[in-house]
Structure 1
Amino acid sequence: MDRLRWPIALATIAGLAVAIWAMHRVGFGGLIHAIDRMGWIGFLAFCVASLILSLILGAAWWASMPGQPLHRLPLFAWARIAREGANDLLPFSQLGGLIVGGRALTRFGLPPARTYAAMVVDLTTEMASQAAVTLFGVAALASILIDGDRHHVGPAAWIGVGLSIAITAAFIFLQRPLLKLADGLARKMLPNAPIPFDRLHVELGTIYARKRAVALSFLLNLAGWLYAALLASMALSLIGEPIAFWRIVALESLIFALRGAAFVIPGAIGVQEAGYVLLGPLIGLGPEAAVALSLIKRARDVTLGLPALVIWQALDLRRTPETVR
C-alpha cells in the first residue's frame, strides 16, 4: 500500500477532475433539480432497498465459507458493507477494502485462513458472474445500436444471454481452472495476509471441493449484479426518468466493468461519472439523468458505508477474540 500511495493520490485527483467536468457538462442546476425530484423519502427508500443488495452479496460471501451457521449471515452482510465503504470512501484502492472486509470478520473470531480463502473464492465468483452480465450488456448495447429505438430485446442481446448461460455452466463444472485463478488472485491481492500462503492454498482447495457452495456463491453474486441494475432502475423512476430494465442492465453492466478496470482509483471516482455521460445516451438516458444517478448512488454509498466503517474502526481497536471454527 505504501508503494501505491502516490499513484492512488494522482489517480484520485484526476478522477475528481473528470467528475467535476461531467457535472459541469450537464449543468449543476439541472442535476440539483433531478435529484430534488427524488426527495428524502425516495432516497431513504433507495437506501433501504440497497441493504437488500448488501444482504445478497453478504450471502455470496457466506456461501463461500461452507459450514458457517445461517445466523452469521448478517455479519457477512455487514462486513461486505464495510468492504465496499472502504473501497468507496477511503483514500486507497480496492486492495484496502479487502483488508477491511477480512479484518471485519476475523475480529468476530472467524479463522483467518478460512476467512481470506472464502474472500478469494467470493472474488472469483464475483468476477465470473460479472463476466456473464457484461457479455449480456455488450450484446444488448449492440442490439440497441443495430435495431434502433425499438423497445424489445433484439437478437444480439439473446446471443449475450446464451453466452452468459454458457459462462454459468462452465463456471459450475470447471472448478480446477478456477482454483488456479483463485490461487493467482490470492498471491496478487493478499501478499501480506496474516497467514502462510500454503495454509491459504489448502483452504482454497477445501472450498473448491464443495462445488455446490461455490456454485451458490456464483449464483448469488449474479443475482447481486442484476439487483444492482434493478436499484438503478428504481432510482431513475424516482427522479422521473424510467428506462426499460434490460437497457438498464446493459448500461450498468458496462459501468461495473469500467469500475473494475479502474480499481486503483478509490470509488472509481470520475470513471463512473464519465461512463454514465458517454454511455447513457446510447440506451436513451440523457446525460443529466445519468450523472444524477451516479451522484445518488454515491450519496447512498456514503450513507451506508460511513457508519459501517465507524463501527469497524471501533471494533478494530479492541482485542481480537480467540478464533473459532
Structure 2
Amino acid sequence: MLLATLAGLAAAVWAFGSIGFGSVLAVAGRIGIDGFLVFCALSIGTFFILGAAWLAAAPGEPLDRIGLFAWARAVREAVSDLLPFSQIGGIVVGTRTLTTAGVPASRVYASFVVDMTTEMGAQLIFTLFGLAMMVSLLAAGGQAATLRPLILGGTGMMIAGMVMFFFAQRPALGLAGRVAQHFLPGSVVTMTGITDALRETYARRRRVALAFALNLLGWIASGIGGWIVLLMMGADISIWSALSIESLIFTLRSVAFAVPGAIGVQEAAYALAAPLFGLPPETALALSLAKRARDLAIGLPTLILWQVGEMRAVVLASRRG
C-alpha cells in the first residue's frame, strides 16, 4: 500500500506539474464559495441515494433508518478517501457503524454483499455507457489510442471482479464460517445467520432491483455533480461528454482500489482523458481539485463525528462492565 501511495503521489505531481498548478488553481477559483457549497450539498444528497440503496438491500429495516444508512455510507467514503486504509478499510468501518447502531450483524453483512454486488453491476452499466460514447474516439488514432488499454483493461478487470465477487459470495461465507468455528467456537451461528439473510435478500428480487436502480442513480448523480462544477468553471461541455469522462474516472478509481483515495490515479486520468472531449486539462484537474476539497470539507467532520461516536460507545461499554 505504501508503494502504491508513493506511485500515486508521483502521478499527481506529474499531472499538476505538466499542466501548471497555478493555472489549475485559477480555473478552480471560478467556482467560488457559493458554487463549492452547492457541490457539497449535491454530494450529500448522493449519500442519501446510496444509503437508500443499502437500505433496500436490508429487508426488515424500517424506511426511517435511511439517515443511518446514508451516514454509514458517508463514513465509509470518508475513511476510504482520507485515511490510509484503502477502500477495504472504509468498508469495515461503514459496516461497523451500522452494527454499533443496533442493526443485526447478519443483516448488515448480508445487505452489504447485496449492495456491493448491485453497485458493481450499476457501475458496469455506467461504464459501458461511457464506452459507447467513446467508440469513435477509441477507433481514432493519436492520443485516444494511448487510453485504449487503460479503458478496455480497466473495464475488463471490473467485469472479472464483479463476476468473481458474485459467484464467490456464498462459498466465501461458508469458508469464513468454518475457519471462524475452528478458532472462535460459536461464531458459526453468526455466519449461518449471514448466509440465511443473504439467501432471503436475493429471494426478494424487487428489493435487489431497487438497490440496483438506486446505485445506478447514484453513479449518474455523481457524474452530473461533476458536470455542474465544470459549468460553474465556465467549461463548454455537454452533459453526455461529462458523464463519459466521469464513467472513465470512476472505473479507474475502482480498479486502483489499493491506492488510498485513488491519489494520482484520478488526477492522471483527468489529465489524459479530458482533451479527448475538448476539455482543457487544467479545467479537468481543477475539477479533480474541487473533488479533493469537497472530500475534505465533508469527510473531516464526518470522521470527527464518527470518532466521537466510537468514544461514546467505549465509555458506555466500560460503564456497563
TM-score (norm 1): 0.82
Partner Cα separation in structure 2 for residue 71 and residue 147 of structure 1: 51
Q: Where do 5+ consecutive residues of structure 1 fail to align? A: 1-7, 149-166, 172-176
CA shift, 1:200, in A, is 1.8
Aligned pairs for 1:136-155 within 5 A: 136-144=129-137
Aligned pairs for 1:110-149 within 5 A: 110-144=103-137
- Root-mean-square deviation (CA, aligned residues, Å) is 2.8
CA shift, 1:70, in A, is 1.5
Partner Cα separation in structure 2 for residue 309 and residue 290 of structure 1: 28
Check conservation: 1:85, 1:308, Cα contact below 8 A. yes
Out of 265, 287, 295, the position equivalent to 1:271 is: 265
Partner Cα separation in structure 1 for residue 30 and residue 210 of structure 2: 38
Out of 282, 292, 314, the position equivalent to 2:308 is: 314
Q: Tell me whether 1:71 sits opposite 2:64 in the alignment.
A: yes
Check conservation: 1:233, 1:242, Cα contact below 8 A. no
AA aligned opposite 1:307: P
Q: Tell me whether 1:249 sits opposite 2:239 in the alignment.
A: no
Q: Tell me whether 1:290 sits opposite 2:284 in the alignment.
A: yes
Where does residue 213 of structure 1 map in the other structure?
Answer: 207
The alignment covers a number of residue pairs equal to 289
Where does residue 106 of structure 1 map in the other structure?
Answer: 99
Where does residue 61 of structure 1 map in the other structure?
Answer: 54
Q: Tell me whether 1:22 sits opposite 2:15 in the alignment.
A: yes
TM-score (norm 2): 0.83
Where does residue 91 of structure 1 map in the other structure?
Answer: 84
Q: Tell me whether 1:180 sits opposite 2:194 in the alignment.
A: no
Pick closer, same or farther for the CA change 1:289–1:311 going to 2, 3 Å.
same
SS in 1 for 2:312: coil
Pick closer, same or farther for the CA change 1:207–1:65 going to 2, 3 Å.
same
Pick closer, same or farther for the CA change 1:71–1:241 going to 2, 3 Å.
same
Query: Which segment is superposed worse, 135-144 or 256-265?
Result: 135-144
Partner Cα separation in structure 2 for residue 32 and residue 111 of structure 1: 47
Partner Cα separation in structure 2 for residue 138 and residue 118 of structure 1: 30
Aligned pairs for 1:158-169 within 5 A: none
Identity across matched positions, percent: 48
Greater fraction of residues in helix: 2
AA aligned opposite 2:266: Q
Partner Cα separation in structure 1 for residue 134 and residue 174 of structure 2: 35
SS in 2 for 1:317: helix
Check conservation: 1:107, 1:315, Cα contact below 8 A. no
CA offsets per residue over residues 128-163 of structure 1, 9 Å max, x none?
000111111111111455699xxxxxxxxxxxxxxx
Out of 26, 42, 48, the position equivalent to 1:49 is: 42
Partner Cα separation in structure 2 for residue 57 and residue 141 of structure 1: 27
Partner Cα separation in structure 2 for residue 294 and residue 214 of structure 1: 32
Partner Cα separation in structure 2 for residue 188 and residue 280 of structure 1: 45
Partner Cα separation in structure 2 for residue 294 and residue 21 of structure 1: 14
Q: Where do 5+ consecutive residues of structure 2 fail to align? A: 142-158, 181-186
Partner Cα separation in structure 2 for residue 94 and residue 146 of structure 1: 33
Check conservation: 2:176, 2:191, Cα contact below 8 A. no
